[in-house]
């Protein structure tokens, strides 16, 4: 079993990349990793840098989007995150961990609405990964 720490919202303790790196440096256990919450890092204004700086500990990504002002948990592609840029950054650091959609239940009045949004987000991310893969094979 391992412990995975998530970057928090910027106004909270461990909400900045430097804070997360500090706590990782203070932990002696090798079974501790990082979960990059894309929405939190986008609000903090350091998403792409965080993906790079945390890469040595990165085990999981909570994929969600927002407009950069609050933690909306909208599907990837519905906010201000440049997903092609982020996927490129993850490819640069050879990320092999898990990617979990973290979406708000306010996306629709029914569970079917939320499931449709999750399926659309999955296809959106799959396309982003394919686009980056194609770009890299053509270089």
Q: Would you write out the chain's pLDDT as a tens digit for each of its 139 residues?
A: 889 999 999 889 888 899 899 998 888 777 899 999 999 999 999 999 999 999 999 999 999 999 999 999 999 999 999 999 999 999 999 999 999 999 998 878 889 999 999 999 999 999 999 999 999 888 7
Supply the pLDDT for residue 1.
83
pLDDT for 139 equals: 79
Per-residue confidence (pLDDT) for residue 105, from 0 to 100: 85
**Contact (CB, 8 A) for 103 and 121:** yes
In which residue are the tokens 């092609």 written?
Answer: 84
Report the pLDDT value the prediction gives residue 127, as an integer from 0 to 100: 96
pTM of the full structure: 0.92
**Considering only CA atoms, which of 124, 82, 80, 78 is closest in space to residue 99?**
124
CA dist 88 to 9, 40, 104, 134, Å?
A: 23, 19, 26, 11
The count of domains in the chain is 1
Residue 66: give its domain's CATH number. Answer: 3.20.20.150
Domain containing 129: what range?
3-138
């Amino acid at each position: 079993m391992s412990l995975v720490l998530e970057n928090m919202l910027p106004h909270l303790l461990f909400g900045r990349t430097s804070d997360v790196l500090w706590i990782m440096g203070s932990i002696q256990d090798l079974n501790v990793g990082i979960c990059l919450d894309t929405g939190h890092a986008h609000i903090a204004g350091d998403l792409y840098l965080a993906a790079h700086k945390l890469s040595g500990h990165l085990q999981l990504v909570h994929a969600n989007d927002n407009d950069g002002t609050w933690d909306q948990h909208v599907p990837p592609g519905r906010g201000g995150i440049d997903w092609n840029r982020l996927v490129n950054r993850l490819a640069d650091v050879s990320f092999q961990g898990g990617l979990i959609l973290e979406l708000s239940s306010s996306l629709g009045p029914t569970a079917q609405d939320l499931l449709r949004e999750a399926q659309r987000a999955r296809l959106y991310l799959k396309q982003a990964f394919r686009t980056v893969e194609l770009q890299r094979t053509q270089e």
